[in-house]
Chains A and B, each alone.
Chain A
């Protein structure tokens, strides 16, 4: 006999089966297909793809952008989250909505915004050109749009964790004469470390995987301004599907790493909140 708040067994089974089929068909199958394509000609595809100079350059460029963008947005993310949760000012809802903007603007529009700002005919275009500084269709442009699209990750992870937690301990530490850094390091940091780590991982994954925004400001010069996601498209346009899939499967690892990291940080965070 079913309890009154449960569905009959046949319906439960059907719904569970539906969930499995849906996820298998819509998510697992595309993922498996790209891996299969990359492996369709055996290991040779990987050797061929990853020994090409353009691919190596694309990987280096992608890593370099992440190496600069992630620390910058981590530091600013901590500052924004700390300020947001510790300063009393009106209009905080607007600020919070502002942090959602980079997630909701089309990546192509993001790229275009910076062409209007820093491109040849942009607001600062003349000023930059007179000084021989090239931003759009060059490395700085790629970096700036990446900063834009990855800006909120760390801050958004930290704000709910910093909000209202450990405030008495902070107050006590301050009365005992602890400076800001000591309060942060000894009291706040242990509370937020798993959230911070997860935010950093999301930020890294997005900065390496961003496509639309960098596509607009890159100019797609192979071996110069092609990041790894852009290189995937270039190989695809060449009609070299196995090579494009091989390059894509390296990026796919990023996705998997961030999923596993999410699961681990979730478990750690839950264990912490139980204590």
Chain B
């Protein structure tokens, strides 16, 4: 039972981590929380629905790749439309957040207005979904999502550490202005950044869609991922991963716990936010966050 819960927790946690990494990537360079990330993830899931169910009947893996690409491009477009002029103007982060919120509202409602509020299922990836492991019944999809998320994050880490553009992104996370003075095209860099964040988000969206359903307001779940990113410390990649997985585990454990016979699952979200509040009070910069001291 507990083993099963942990696997569920790891699986949802790794999906959180995928999304949280997207928040952290953008935050590390641009210093704002991209609240439109949820809409990008939702659109990614809809792309998968379109190519797997609605228009074509593609198998899972090509559909996953197409959704990742689609979500990446959407994230890039969102940046161009909603952030790039603010970025060039060096607007305060509050403005970015409002612009992101506007974008999120608009995109989500475009879905309502065109496709509608229906819930759509994505076809299952495995015919026989669960495997018996001792007493525990474990979903293959959970294992698959966990493995694939870890793989994707490993790939991202590789890109960041061993490619030129990755090095530039890491440098920009310390001082974007300096990097642009050194001759790196910051617009290009940001475009790559959003493509990467969007692609990971698209992947998360597809996993969410397979695991639950595809619907316009599924982006709400990204608030959890955002909590994960904040717990880990915004702007820190390992932080986002640890924070996301930690949150997934805590939620899975709380969902199956009871206090005095009362199931805690109703209050699951309250616990997540409670965990966040507690952590922020103890460590205002998150687990791996940088603390920046201002010079007087």
Q: Determine if chain A interacts with chain B.
A: no
